[in-house]
């Protein structure tokens, strides 16, 4: 991406900073996987959003002077030929200034000297406390050292503010440049889901389908997956975050794939559920059509002015009506909606958090999650879902969210209806809110029964 885009983002962030303040953003660090092997590096999304720098350990400081002037300071690993021949070329302080647009740049070893000086006599420091314990301790140490110098005539910042209150509102609303990357991630992911449908055969193992997804993603330039693939055959689909992906696929079972490519630091998120042998059984089809109907109802509700909660309720009401008709729930759509409303109020009063239990709201046995989440640089992207306890987030053009209702009949529940035992179905698309309503960014992923049964008949050219 053009470096100008990152400068624009910093400027938009700074617009909302108090004059006379400083903001600190640490990069991700490398993490040990085992002995001396690292996990693959993935930059912190907030850091990347503002800097475009993909190096570990770096620190970005944004200063808005009392005059309104903006300074952008980067602390980076030094150029070092011995290090670079092992781990790759670095921007260094020259690169930070010339390529990355920093007004000043220092080697990381200078941070403990320079950053306390940046904090002196500022109104506020914007720093995201509680995300990175190690960096939290460094920030506290820098603040302490400024306080210790008070008799020398300097004062520490009065306030520590959370930059995410500003930054995540920006990230929630995608710009055309961001949407270009997200569209590409969606297109790659759609192709992989289509190829998986063509390739699946009874007797295969889940890991073969996982290999296919990785192959299609990498072949199309996706540097990594947005999250761990879920390739869940049969009853594994009832485990919401199943990712062992190592079991055989049986004739007569469904296969649930929840997988999205990351492209340019933006992640897609698609779930497909389809029959391993190419044909839905009548029972599978009945449940599938219910989930599909719920998904369509929720997608229809995706338009500016509607709230996230309205989308959530559109799917819930559809699923609840169907569960009542199947004889699996008692009450009416309205009575269950009222029950949920009261339950949420009680939970708020009693400070109860975590998933809602089926004892408290019976439909949660079959639909334990929510309709979806914001989508962007993080698969579960940042941004508020409620403006306050009473007001759900209104949808605006540029917001992206997933729509992913599901029904699961987990046999572990004592009262699991035998007729439906071990069926798990989820259908997920990625939706962009537009001026006129919405655009399905993952349209073309076969999601109707007819589309799925047709594509599974197509030959696969991918050797597994
Ligand atoms: Mn999702």
CATH code of the domain covering residue 315: 3.90.230.10
In terms of domains, do 313 and 183 share one? yes
pLDDT digits (tens, 9 = 90+) for 244-256: 999 999 999 999 9
Distance, CA of 300 to chain centre: 22
Name residues with Cβ closer than 5 Å to ligand 1, which is an ion: 269, 402
Whose structure tokens read 């296919």?
Answer: 212
In terms of domains, do 95 and 195 share one? no
Residue 444: give the domain boundaries: 173-457
Confidence of residue 457 (pLDDT cuts 50, 70, 90): very high
Helices (H), 245-332: 282-300, 308-325
From ligand 1's centre to the CA of 16, what distance in Å?
A: 31
Q: What is the pLDDT of residue 419?
A: 94
pLDDT digits (tens, 9 = 90+) for 147-187: 999 999 999 999 999 999 999 999 999 999 999 999 999 99
Q: What is the pLDDT of residue 293?
A: 98
4 near 31, Cβ under 8 Å? no
| 3-31 b/e (C-beta count within 10 Å ≥ 16 → b) | eeebbebbeebbeebeebbbbbbbbbeee
Confidence of residue 428 (pLDDT cuts 50, 70, 90): very high
> Which pairs from 284-291 meet CB under 8 Å and 24+ separation?
284/254, 284/423, 284/425, 285/449, 287/407, 287/409, 287/420, 287/423, 287/425, 288/425, 288/427, 288/449, 289/449, 290/318, 290/319, 290/322, 290/407, 291/319, 291/405, 291/406, 291/407, 291/425, 291/426, 291/427
Residue 463 lies in a domain: no
pLDDT at 268 over 70: yes
Cβ contacts of 445 within 8 Å, gap of 6 or more: 189, 190, 193, 194, 270, 272, 429
Residue at a domain's end among 149, 170, 191: 170
Distance, CA of 333 to chain centre: 31
In terms of domains, do 249 and 161 share one? no
Total domains present in the chain: 2
Rounded Cα distance, 71 and 52, in Å: 17
In terms of domains, do 185 and 41 share one? no
Q: What is the CATH number of the domain that holds 122?
A: 3.40.350.10
Residue 126 lies in a domain: yes
| Token digits of residue 227 | 């999250």
Q: What is the pLDDT of residue 1?
A: 60
From ligand 1's centre to the CA of 260, what distance in Å?
A: 9
Residue 31's φ and ψ, nearest 5 degrees, are -120, 140
Tell me 160's DSSP state: E
Tell me 220's DSSP state: T
In terms of domains, do 82 and 184 share one? no
In terms of domains, do 322 and 380 share one? yes
Q: What is the pLDDT of residue 87?
A: 87
Residue at a domain's end among 138, 170, 202: 170
From ligand 1's centre to the CA of 373, what distance in Å?
A: 7
Task: Compute the Cα dihedral for 386, 387, 388, 390 and give only its sign.
Answer: negative
Closest CA to 407 of 293, 245, 278: 293
Residue 331 lies in a domain: yes
Residue 462 lies in a domain: no
Residue at a domain's end among 146, 170, 194: 170
In terms of domains, do 179 and 165 share one? no
In terms of domains, do 158 and 189 share one? no
Average pLDDT of the segment spanning 229-251 = 97
Q: What is the pLDDT of residue 305?
A: 94
Average pLDDT of the segment spanning 104-110 = 98
Rounded Cα distance, 279 and 220, in Å: 30
In terms of domains, do 164 and 18 share one? yes
Distance, CA of 404 to chain centre: 13
From ligand 1's centre to the CA of 338, what distance in Å?
A: 27
User: What are the beta bridge partners of residue 425?
Assistant: 407
From ligand 1's centre to the CA of 208, what distance in Å?
A: 22
C-alpha separations of 111 from 19, 74, 77, 346, 399 in Å: 23, 10, 11, 48, 37
Residue 376 lies in a domain: yes
Q: What is the pLDDT of residue 2?
A: 81
From ligand 1's centre to the CA of 398, what distance in Å?
A: 18
In terms of domains, do 315 and 405 share one? yes
Q: How many CB atoms lie within 10 A of CB 77?
A: 20
Residue 112 lies in a domain: yes
In terms of domains, do 146 and 190 share one? no
Residue 464 lies in a domain: no
Mean pLDDT of the chain: 97
Share of the chain above pLDDT 90, in %: 98
Q: Any idea which residues carry the catalytic annotation?
A: 36, 241, 258, 269, 369, 373, 380, 404, 408, 426, 428
In terms of domains, do 32 and 107 share one? yes
From ligand 1's centre to the CA of 458, what distance in Å?
A: 27
Residue 47 lies in a domain: yes
127 near 139, Cβ under 8 Å? yes
């Amino acid at each position: 991406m053009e470096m100008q885009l990152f400068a624009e983002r910093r400027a938009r962030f700074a617009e909302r900073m108090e004059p006379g303040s400083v903001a600190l953003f640490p990069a991700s660090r490398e993490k040990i996987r085992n002995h001396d092997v690292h996990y693959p590096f993935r930059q912190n999304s907030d850091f990347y959003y503002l800097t475009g720098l993909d190096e570990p350990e770096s620190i970005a400081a944004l200063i808005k002077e009392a005059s309104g002037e903006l300074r952008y300071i980067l602390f980076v690993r030094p150029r070092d030929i011995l290090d670079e021949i092992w781990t790759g070329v670095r921007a260094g302080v020259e690169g930070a200034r010339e390529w990355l647009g920093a007004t000043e740049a220092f080697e990381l070893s200078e941070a403990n000297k320079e950053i306390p000086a940046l904090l002196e006599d500022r109104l506020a420091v914007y720093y995201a406390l509680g995300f990175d314990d190690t960096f939290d301790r460094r920030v506290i140490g820098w603040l302490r050292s400024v306080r210790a110098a008070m008799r020398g005539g300097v004062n520490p910042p009065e306030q520590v503010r959370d930059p995410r209150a500003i930054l995540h509102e920006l990230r929630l609303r995608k710009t055309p440049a961001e949407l270009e990357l997200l569209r590409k991630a969606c297109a790659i992911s759609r192709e992989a889901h289509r190829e998986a449908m063509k390739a699946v055969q009874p007797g295969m193992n889940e890991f073969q389908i996982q290999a296919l997804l990785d192959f299609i993603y990498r072949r199309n330039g996706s540097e990594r997956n947005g999250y761990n693939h879920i390739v869940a055959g049969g009853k594994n689909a009832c485990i919401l975050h199943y990712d062992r992906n190592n079991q055989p696929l049986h004739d007569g079972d469904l296969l649930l794939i929840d997988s999205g490519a990351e492209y340019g630091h933006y992640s897609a998120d698609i779930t497909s559920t389809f029959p391993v042998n190419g044909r839905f059984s009548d029972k599978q089809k009945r449940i599938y059509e219910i989930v599909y109907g719920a998904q369509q109802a929720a997608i229809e509700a995706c338009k500016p002015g509607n709230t996230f909660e309205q989308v959530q309720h559109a799917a819930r009401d559809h699923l609840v009506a169907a569960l009542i008709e199947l004889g699996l729930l008692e009450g009416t759509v309205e009575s269950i909606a009222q029950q949920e409303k009261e339950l949420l109020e009680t939970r708020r009063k009693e400070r109860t958090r975590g998933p809602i239990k089926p004892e408290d709201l019976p439909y949660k046995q079959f639909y334990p999650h929510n309709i979806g989440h914001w989508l962007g640089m993080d698969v579960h992207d940042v941004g508020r879902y409620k403006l306050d306890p009473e007001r759900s987030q209104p949808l605006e053009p540029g917001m992206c969210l997933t729509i992913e209702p599901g029904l699961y009949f987990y046999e572990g529940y004592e009262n699991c209806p035998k007729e439906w035992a071990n069926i798990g179905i989820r259908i997920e698309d990625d939706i962009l809110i537009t001026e006129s309503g919405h655009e399905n960014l993952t349209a073309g992923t076969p999601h109707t029964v007819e589309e799925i049964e047709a594509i599974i008949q197509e030959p696969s050219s991918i050797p597994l």
